[in-house]
Amino acid sequence: MLFIFAIYGDRSEAQLLGKPAMTLSRLLGKVGELAGKLVKPVKRGGQLDPEETMTVPEIIRRWDYPAEDHSIETPDGYIIGVHRIPHGKGGQKDPRRIPVLVYHGIECSSADWVYNLPNQSIGFLLAEAGYDVWLANHRGNYYSRRHTKLNPDKDKKFFDYSWAEIGEIDAPTVIDYILKNTGHQKLQYIGYSMGTTISFVLLASKPEYNDKIISVHDMAAVTDSRNNASPLFKIVSPFTKQITKMYPVIGPQELLPKPRNPKVPPLCAKAAKTCLKVLVPLLDSKDDNMMNKTRLRVYYSHFPSGTSLRSLLHYFQTAAAKTFRKFDMGPKKNKEVYGQETPPEYDYSNIKAPVYLYSGPNDHLAPPVDMQLIAKKLPNLKQFYIVPHPKFNHLDFTWAVDAPDLVYNKIIANMKAEDKSK
């Protein structure tokens, strides 16, 4: 418990020490920069992979695909970065191409869908399959760390959000923008991890958006995480009530941001093998044989990409409550904001769009047993697909070299079938 407060409780520590506190964002940034200077980079063939310092549009163009960078303003002033691949290699824009919106997981970014080789990355595979691909970013991450009024480096209020706001505000804003710019009335939706949570929040809280989505394809779906077997989750979750009570004192915080200076690589990009051995087992299963280890530095140059403490705390809360509900602000604040002392639950019955779920047998963060609980509550579940590989885990949905054969091609085939029936 003391460790948790040492990380998150900057204000309380300031009171104890009698000195101004350094925010979590600044602290992690300083530690990362210092460690990055101390750890010698491991070079491959005398050169670093150029994708380690590239942006997502630069990675896309590197493989001769077209890339567009869109900035979408939400009603509450956040500016969301969305990266578009309008067509496949050697193709051209075609208004008949159906748009597909892809949402990444917590601490991730749109890089998830293009940082493997083109024949292994779903972003490129979707473009070659005839789709107009839109890769969204969560508010507050590396590509969406902007606001019309708030400065994320100075205004802690910028990070006072969770995945609830992303699902209720950002996702519908992005969907409307895409449909307006493409002339389509509907789009396909693909989510991974927190991207799946966003889809459920969106459709449960704004049922009218069911009519704007052809079908939902959610990989490693997460709602209340009651059976989450991640070691880190098990360590922290028993203290959820105490952390929730401390949150008003701790205040909004940025969590594990990606360095803003591209010349300063993240710590794990400098020590990729060490992070693989230490951090991955803390988050997920220990099995890492499905990823391309020669690209570890590329992965860790784009992950983590930043999020809010509140987003992570929200997951701990839903797991402790064993129900999918809005953020718990405490009885008094809940009464003020929600009109009741406990957070209202999201209504699964509102999710009318066709939903396909894709589960990894070895996934500790979104275990199959939790996904089966979600499946039972969905009124229009079309398929519950278990990846046919016993060691396929949470991270493999973005890192595994066999993901196209095991998952991505299945998603595309299901999307094509839904396209024909719309």
Is the per-residue pLDDT at 100 higher than 90? Answer: yes
What pLDDT is attached to residue 333?
Answer: 95
Domains present along the chain, CATH in parentheses: 69-252+305-421 (3.40.50.1820)
What pLDDT is attached to residue 20?
Answer: 36
Inter-axis angle of helices 194-205 and 171-182, to 10 degrees? 80
The mean per-residue pLDDT over the stretch 354-383 comes to: 97
Q: Which of 25, 193, 237, 301 is catalytic?
A: 193
Q: Is 193 exposed, middle or buried (0-12, 13-18, 19+ CB in 10 A)?
A: buried
The mean per-residue pLDDT over the stretch 8-20 comes to: 36
Query: What pLDDT digit, counting tens, does each position of 309-319 carry?
Result: 999 999 999 99
Is the per-residue pLDDT at 69 higher than 50? Answer: yes
Q: Which of 49, 363, 370, 396 is catalytic?
A: 363
Residue 394 catalytic? yes
Is the per-residue pLDDT at 124 higher than 60? Answer: yes
Answer positive or negative: Cα dihedral of 51, 304, 131, 290.
positive
Residue 71 catalytic? no
Is the per-residue pLDDT at 264 higher than 80? Answer: no
Does the global pTM surpass 0.85? yes
pLDDT band at 175 (very low <50, low <70, confident <90, very high): very high
Inter-axis angle of helices 10-17 and 240-250, to 10 degrees? 70
Residue 193 catalytic? yes
Is the per-residue pLDDT at 232 higher than 90? Answer: no
